[in-house]
Structure 1
Amino acid sequence: MGTSGGVLGDRGLAVLAGVHRWVIRVTGGRLGWRIGRLITVELHTVGRRTGRPRTTILSAPIAEPDRVVLVASKGGDDRHPAWYLNLVDHPDVVVDFREGSRPMRARTATPTEKAELWPRITAAYPGYEHYQRRTRREIPVVICEPLQ
């Protein structure tokens, strides 16, 4: 049922993220901040083991003025993505949008919150439902809210 490496594998995901960053950079941000109905964000975390800054490009199925919702799917892998483990240990993050950066606090959605958000998440990108079926783990939904 589950997999190791998800759909693309760890190396494939890293290459895809690098290409994505390159597209944003070489187009001056004209391309790459949206994939279909999803906006793209760059999430800045602190490494849980190293304490060093880490950056990940992610799609956000829900982006509202008071919160951004991320899905720690890792393509249906049986392991949580490193960015998720980092923000569990260090929940103060910075989220870059096309319009600029915003300091936020990240937290895992409660089961009730996830149940409420999941239909909107899968409406924005039905692949998340496939990822959940591929893995034995419960895929976390992350809510990032502005620091007060």
Structure 2
Amino acid sequence: MSMITRRMLMTGAASLAGAAIAPRWLHASMQMGGWQVDTLSDGNLQLPADFILGPMPAEEIAPILARHGIAEGAPLTPPCNVTLLRGQGRVVLFDAGSGLAFQPSVGELPDALYALGVDPADVTDVVFTHAHPDHLWGALDDFDEALFYNARH
């Protein structure tokens, strides 16, 4: 029989309290050696289901949608996340998010950074994983100026 200790209870309570006050943009956070790794939300995409599921037979699509509580014909809303790596004098952003011009449901990366106390000017490096709009359009601000103007891209 496993016994719950006071320490386990206090640790669990502290974790729940931290989750309650964590910014809505922070999905995951961990320490790896001297590096802090955070997964941040830029919002979520709005995609027609056939954008991803189009080639599948309808009889295969229906159970998938039902399992995830998605009504037939409803858009898919996958998260748009980016990774922030901080340590050893570097602030590295993997992808730059969507910016405000792509879809109204994205463009939250600047808020996510500010919630962690990171100014766009603090970013030293931006690494693009690939050239889809939800990964690189956020590199420019509302005036088409570089948002991460001190970073190597």
Q: What's the TM-score once normalised by structure 2's chain length?
A: 0.30
- Quick check: which one's strand share is greater? 1
The structure with higher relative contact order (CA 8 Å, sep 6+) is: 1
> Between Structure 1 and Structure 2, whose CA radius of gyration is higher?
2
TM-score by length of 1: 0.31
